[in-house]
């Protein structure tokens, strides 16, 4: 696979240290982005931000968490889809507007960043991502009406409808926490209730996935609805809907790959959905084999489902080094290729002399899959039959995956037989789109699958490449030097 943008968390926890809640929640969301991590907190008076490049455990220490004082906090793990991997692009992004301090964390990708940036320009010190542009727009609205004690809320309500594309946001000022989901709900966002403390106080958590609620002992309340803005402050929780109503379109790849298997999406356990993908795949593309082998981790449930229906024994044939990050998330192709060899090692006893049915979740660029097939063959497999628990990935994504360049997508250049030859498999079978949507157990009309079908839910005419905003900013910097 390729990249997906970010995990977000927010906590409103009277009497507790929100930084620690965000820290542990970010561990549960580390799989969503590994370039940088950050936390912003407020004690009711001052917003403090700490962020840096690296994993959550590398960015924060016990001392730095204690320095992030306050009962309100937001956190972010980043994978870039707009702007490069620079410190300035790490999140949360923050702005001071008079006496009001704002911090924002974003999961998704805007499709009208160019139009917004023309109206709300940012300089390189503020970052070169769509998130920085969003904050600039919100800050401008706050500046216009900051005398109101609900300045940020009103600024969000007036500004959010101008954002187009995918965005699940956590936003905070000194006294409030906001959770926002775009009107299509491309990216997930859920709401949880923290247990009461000794003093009888409770609190709230907003997170990209329910797995982050679990690690905090928070109970799942509901998903933040598409088009909803949740506001949490000293008076409690309320919500408003600043967007025109439209059809929900959750990214179907949340079920295929992005979300943790222990998370719940649309009321369905992700592991269960992936197992059903494997069951349907076995019916659609049967094959004679001796062993079903998953590509860990997201290929495991599908392989279990495939084995159950096909009657071919399931066995682990690849061991994952759990201390190496996802090759999908690595932004550099050279690092992505090297990462496969660092990440996976074959169990030869499982593979030698066998007809192996190798189950993976997707093929995007093809380089990783080719190396996997080679690895299994070199370990002694007699045949390698590749089965993929999603359809061919043919079209660019503009809603939060780093696949906006269609020329890099192997299924856009080759047919199925050509892909099979390229990766070196004996046969290749993809799950159908209908099969994938059936496996989710949800209304098939409620998903975005543009990367598989070219059916884009929004206008993408204004969508830009990953580095388009950064290039003119850097050119100005060089000219100044």
Same domain, 75 and 161: yes
CATH number of the domain where residue 387 is located? 3.40.50.2020
Question: What's the domain range around 137?
Answer: 7-249
383 bridge partner residues = 355
Q: Strand order in 47-53's β-sheet? A: 47-53, 36-42, 72-78, 7-12, 203-207, 190-194, 219-223
Same domain, 142 and 274: no
Report the distance separating Cα 417 and Cα 388, nearest Å.
14
CATH number of the domain where residue 119 is located? 3.60.20.10
Query: What are 416-432's pLDDT values in tens digits?
Result: 999 999 999 999 999 99
Same domain, 213 and 277: no
The verdict on residue 41 lying in a domain is yes
Same domain, 235 and 287: no
In angstroms, how far is CA 475 from the centroid of its own chain? 30
190 carries an active-site annotation: no
Same domain, 43 and 107: yes
Residue 441: what are its φ and ψ, rounded to 5°? 75, 10
**C-alpha closest to that of 123 among 473, 479, 480, 481:** 473
Same domain, 169 and 304: no
Same domain, 243 and 307: no
| pLDDT (0 to 100) of residue 324 | 60
The verdict on residue 459 lying in a domain is no
Same domain, 207 and 324: no
| pLDDT (0 to 100) of residue 405 | 87
The one catalytic residue in 6, 22, 251, 420 is 6
Same domain, 309 and 241: no
Cα 81 to Cα 111, 309, 390, 398: the distances in Å are 11, 38, 22, 9
| pLDDT (0 to 100) of residue 78 | 84
The verdict on residue 239 lying in a domain is yes
Q: Which residues of the chain have pLDDT under 50?
A: 1-4, 82-83, 326-329, 466-468, 472-481
Report the distance separating Cα 333 and Cα 349, nearest Å.
31
Same domain, 428 and 331: yes
| pLDDT (0 to 100) of residue 343 | 83
Query: What are 206-262's pLDDT values in tens digits?
Result: 999 999 999 999 999 999 999 999 999 999 999 999 999 999 999 999 999 999 999
Exposure string over 363-376, b if 16+ CB within 10 A, otherwise e: bbbbbbbbbbbebb
Query: What are 349-370's pLDDT values in tens digits?
Result: 999 999 999 999 999 999 999 9
| pLDDT (0 to 100) of residue 222 | 97
The verdict on residue 315 lying in a domain is yes
| pLDDT (0 to 100) of residue 298 | 86
The verdict on residue 478 lying in a domain is no
The verdict on residue 74 lying in a domain is yes
Same domain, 235 and 322: no
């Amino acid at each position: 696979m390729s990249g997906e943008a970010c995990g977000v968390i927010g906590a409103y926890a009277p009497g507790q240290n929100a930084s620690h809640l965000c820290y542990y929640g970010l561990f549960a969301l580390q799989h969503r982005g590994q370039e940088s991590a950050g936390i912003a907190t407020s004690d009711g008076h001052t917003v403090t931000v700490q962020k840096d490049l690296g994993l959550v455990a590398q960015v924060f220490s016990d001392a730095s968490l204690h320095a992030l004082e306050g009962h309100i906090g937001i956190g972010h793990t980043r994978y870039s889809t707009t702007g490069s991997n620079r410190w300035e692009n790490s999140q949360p992004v923050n702005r001071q507007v008079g006496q009001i301090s704002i911090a924002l964390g974003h999961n998704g990708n805007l499709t009208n960043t160019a139009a917004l940036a023309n109206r709300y320009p940012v300089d390189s010190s503020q970052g070169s991502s769509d998130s920085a542009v969003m904050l600039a727009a919100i800050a401008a609205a706050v500046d216009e009406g900051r005398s109101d004690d609900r300045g940020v809320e009103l600024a969000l309500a007036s500004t959010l409808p101008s954002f187009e594309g995918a965005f699940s946001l956590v936003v905070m000022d000194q006294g409030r926490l906001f959770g926002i989901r775009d009107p299509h709900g491309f990216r997930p966002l859920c709401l949880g209730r923290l247990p009461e403390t000794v003093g009888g106080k409770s609190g709230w958590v907003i997170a990209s996935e329910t797995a982050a609620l679990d690690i905090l002992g928070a109970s799942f309340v509901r998903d933040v609805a598409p088009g909803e803005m949740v506001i949490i402050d000293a008076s409690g929780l309320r919500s408003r809907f600043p967007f025109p109503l439209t059809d929900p379109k959750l990214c179907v790849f949340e079920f295929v790959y992005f979300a943790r298997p222990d998370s719940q999406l649309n009321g369905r356990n992700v592991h269960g959905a992936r197992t059903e993908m494997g069951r349907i795949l076995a019916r659609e593309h049967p094959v004679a084999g001796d062993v079903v082998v998953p590509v860990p981790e997201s290929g495991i449930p599908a392989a279990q489902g495939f084995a159950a229906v096909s009657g071919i024994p399931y066995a682990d044939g690849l061991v994952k080094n759990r201390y190496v990050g996802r090759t999908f998330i690595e932004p550099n192709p050279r690092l992505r290729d090297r990462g496969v060899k660092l990440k996976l090692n074959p169990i030869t006893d499982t593979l030698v002399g066998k007809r192996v049915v190798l189950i993976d979740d997707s093929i995007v660029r093809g380089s990783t899959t080719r190396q996997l097939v080679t690895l299994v063959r070199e370990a002694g497999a007699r045949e390698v039959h590749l089965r993929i628990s999603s359809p061919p990935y043919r079209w660019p994504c503009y809603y939060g995956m780093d696949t906006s360049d269609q020329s890099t997508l192997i299924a856009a250049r080759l047919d199925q037989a050509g892909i099979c030859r390229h990766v070196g498999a004996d046969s290749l079978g993809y799950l159908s789109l209908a099969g994938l949507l059936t496996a989710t157990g949800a209304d098939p009309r409620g998903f975005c699958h543009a990367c598989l079908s070219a059916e884009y839910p929004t206008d993408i005419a204004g969508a830009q490449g990953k580095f388009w905003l950064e290039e003119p900013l850097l050119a100005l910097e060089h000219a100044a030097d």
